Amino acid sequence: MRLTGLALLLASLVLPALADDVTRSASGDIDGDGVPDRIDIRRNADDVSVDVAVTLSASKRTVKVQGLTGAEYAEPPAFDKGEVMLAFEWLNGRYKTHTRFYLGMQGAELVVRRYETAVVDSISANPDGTVKVDACEADFVANRATRNDQPAASPGKPIALFAWTDESVPKACQF
């Protein structure tokens, strides 16, 4: 049921989302000092992926990652109790993707706490006629993952945001 809902959501966003891009900025408290931190999301020079910069108020430092993920569209960052969710979509072509990163502090380091991704194959169908969706959720803090709602290989420890690369995607979430 969850996968079907995601497939319908992605399908409904195809045309409106393409009019937008990935440039986003937002403020909220990630490091727990009561002062807003800032997140800036911009298109990478490769015109496919996105760069992210997070300025933390407590340490007065900026954590940057180049080419975090491929995306045509970014949702505004969402802050919730010391965590921020970054969501990106790729809606052109056969495969539509939705990727989420949940960032938070682990000690003095800004880390990826959770990673979620779903891929919709827009021209293939399941035997029951529903859209084919492959989804994965990895929780680095709890060190567990699921793929299509089934237990999958553990993702390992949280990864520092500045160190995230394509190779950081947990094996269970590599489609």
Cα dist. 120→2, 12, 90, 109, 138 in Å? 13, 12, 10, 33, 18
Half-sphere exposure of 134 (CA within 13 A, CB side): 12
**Per-residue model confidence (pLDDT) at position 104:** 97
Residue with tokens 């969402």: 78
CA distance 15 to 69: 21
Residue 164 and residue 107: Cα distance in Å, rounded?
Answer: 18
Q: Show me where the domains of the chain are located.
A: 2-173
| Series of mean pLDDT values for 10-residue runs along the chain (175 residues) | 48 44 93 95 93 95 95 95 95 94 96 97 90 96 97 97 96 92
Residue 66's nearest CA partner among 45, 36, 94, 93 is 45
Would you state the pLDDT for residue 8?
45
| Ramachandran quadrant class, 97 (left: phi over 0; alpha: psi -120 to 50; beta: rest) | beta
Q: What does the pLDDT read at residue 2?
A: 52
Give me the torsion for CA of 45, 48, 50, 51, rounded to 10°.
-20
Question: Which pLDDT does position 21 carry in this prediction?
Answer: 80
Whole-model pTM: value is 0.85
